[in-house]
A and B are shown apart, each in its own frame.
Chain A
């Protein structure tokens, strides 16, 4: 049918046609790849860019806490996913210092995040994982933790004690770290 056209094509621009087709194929493959990969990648990386709202969570009536005592209080993460269940729970060691002042320590050890326990008689926080120990004020008493226990903001609203939720306290390596 179009024999003459075909021979022309083969004769004249064979190498042009070949390189055009090769380039077209490469470009289109790249576009297919980008369209396939970019949306899932954005989806997977989205937690890095999403600021979770922090929220105040009530943890109990003021009168419930005795001055000088340090107790474990549970509260929920801000905006937990409906299927998070018990994993949305988190906790803090709450101490009533006086009539109006409260301190809330994060339960995560600053070494590698394990849950520290308050040992009331010894006035110490102790970590079961690698033996980190903290004084009553959260400063490091012994073991590997590089930093004091993290604290949550606490406030009293009416007769309710409230804790301000926060991300898991991470011990990061400062950029100026030498050695």
Chain B
């Protein structure tokens, strides 16, 4: 019996060629010094496989039609056995994939692995990185809740800014001149057919190039890359000190990938999938479109920029960002690889990470957004319960002052804090400012009568740190 199995095995191997073709690839010689640094690429691939499998399963119940997508997602989330777990895995898998591809990219950049002869490894990687971001964006949109629909509007408005072809790009994206039945089906096709196909092909090429040029060594400050001699020296060193990828290097990849999948499934089990927003009604104005975490930084950028710079960021960040990254190895493909010899590279990575964190926090807090839900000022803040000051405090809420201004911790953050405004501006200043508006403040002259204005000013003049309820030393 055993003999028979062995024969079948040998027959298959001789026809397929596992021993001849695949085994040498698995056991190719890699440098022994990389250790844990090189696990992020394979972990990104693991996350991608999670996405493919969970995505295929989700597609069996998801209906990519404007009128039913939302209902089908509710069915997947609330009724289908394992549906919630699956959506969770797809969502956390997406987060993992974005995070890991960025970490992989930063590691490769810091170690300057993009230099000779691995320029194309980097360039295919940059294409893959942007396609992964495209997958993240379209994936958020396929949730097809209020947030998803409004994401289409935002994306459409952004591409519409492109000179010459903006209108055509926008119509192409929406599948017409309004968001409607054709919009979701198009994004579904990008997310499920077009971009995954590019990723499959791209990963194939990326891995082929990895085999062709070999795994890079850890950078050595004393050994800059010289294209004339690099290959021979690399081969010679590898022969002397290299180890077989399977299993001496691969076990680390597998250990880390196990950790990644454990986190993805664990998060899906514990936290569940992202909650669905309201129904996808473009007529509903109660939506507050916010991107998923990976684009919050960009959301913040778009709020904080002066309008005349905006066009450069809306179009420049994706287009120039891609070109700069893509062309990097064409500009710099030799010389030092060690971070210690490349202070600018280290600086760029630190600045990028810091910028990402700060802008993400800003994007999360949305201080520029009016706080529509703010409630009336409590009596403890107002201090009186009748008269002009009391009326003024009520008006500060009714007229929307508190949407943008905070008073003793109540209100939005778009405009300056007014908790101490009575100490900072005179009555005349306040009247002028409220009537005429100012930088980023509307003029209220036409929407307040004289009495109302007078009441609001009376109220504001009582605002000083001294009477703040939390103030110390009264």
Residues of A within 8 A of B (CB): 45, 47-48, 50, 52, 72, 74, 77, 80-91, 107-108, 111-117, 119, 121-124, 126, 128-131, 133, 135-136, 141-144, 146, 167-168, 170-173, 175, 177, 179
Contact = CB atoms under 8 A, between A and B. Distances in A.
Contacts of A124: 400, 442, 447
B67 A83 contact: yes
B66 A87 contact: yes
B301 to A, nearest CB: 10
B69 to A, nearest CB: 9
Closest 7 CB pairs of A and B: A85-B67, A81-B181, A84-B181, A141-B442, A167-B177, A122-B400, A113-B153
Contacts of B183: 87
Contact of A172 (B161, B285, B310, B369): B161
B47 to A, nearest CB: 30
A114 B289 contact: yes
Given A77-B180, A113-B156, A175 B372 contact: no
B311 interface: yes
Given A47-B174, A128-B369, A112 B311 contact: no
Contacts of A146: 307, 310
Contacts of A135: 442-443, 446
B157 A171 contact: yes
A85 B154 contact: no
A121 B395 CA distance: 9
B179 A91 contact: no
Contacts of B305: 144
A17 to B, nearest CB: 35
Interface centre among A90, A108, A144 (most CB of B within 10 A): A144
Given A90-B178, A121-B399, 16 more contacts: A45-B172, A84-B67, A87-B179, A90-B282, A90-B283, A107-B283, A112-B153, A113-B153, A114-B150, A117-B286, A119-B400, A128-B289, A135-B446, A144-B307, A144-B310, A170-B170
B180 A84 contact: yes
Contacts of B398: 121-122
B181 A131 contact: no
B308 A108 contact: no
B141 to A, nearest CB: 12
A123 B78 CA distance: 42
Nearest to A51: B177
Nearest to B397: A121
Given A80-B181, A130-B303, A87 B442 contact: no
Contacts, number: 200
B162 interface: yes
A37 to B, nearest CB: 14
A177 B162 CA distance: 11
A141 B437 contact: yes
Contacts of A144: 302-303, 305, 307, 310
B287 A88 contact: no
B370 A91 contact: no
B285 A91 contact: yes
Contact of A87 (B184, B288, B308, B414): B184
Contact of A122 (B181, B289, B444): B444
Nearest to B153: A113
B292 interface: no
Given A83-B67, A115-B284, A115-B285, A131 B369 contact: yes
Interface of B: 65-68, 149-150, 153-154, 156-158, 160-164, 166-168, 170-172, 174-184, 279-289, 299, 302-303, 305, 307-308, 310-311, 368-370, 372, 398-400, 403, 414, 437, 440-444, 446-447
A123 B398 CA distance: 11
Contacts of A47: 171-172, 174-177, 182
B154 A113 contact: yes
A112 to B, nearest CB: 4
A168 B155 CA distance: 13
14 contacts: A47-B175, A52-B176, A87-B183, A107-B285, A115-B284, A119-B400, A122-B403, A124-B442, A129-B289, A136-B446, A141-B442, A142-B437, A168-B156, A172-B161
B282 A91 contact: yes
B126 to A, nearest CB: 26
Contacts of A168: 153, 156, 170, 174, 177-179
Given A130-B369, A133-B442, A48 B171 contact: yes
A87 B399 CA distance: 33
B287 A115 contact: yes
A128 B399 contact: no
A173 B161 contact: yes
A22 B201 CA distance: 27
Contacts of A77: 178, 180
Nearest to A137: B446
Given A136-B446, A172-B161, A82 B181 contact: yes
Given A48-B171, A168-B156, A85 B161 contact: no
A144 B177 CA distance: 24
Nearest to B438: A142
B372 A117 contact: yes
A177 B168 contact: no
Contacts of A177: 163, 311
B400 A121 contact: yes
A47 B285 CA distance: 27
Contacts of A171: 157, 160-161
B434 to A, nearest CB: 12
A173 B307 CA distance: 12
Contacts of A113: 150, 153-154, 156-157
A170 B400 contact: no
A146 B370 CA distance: 18
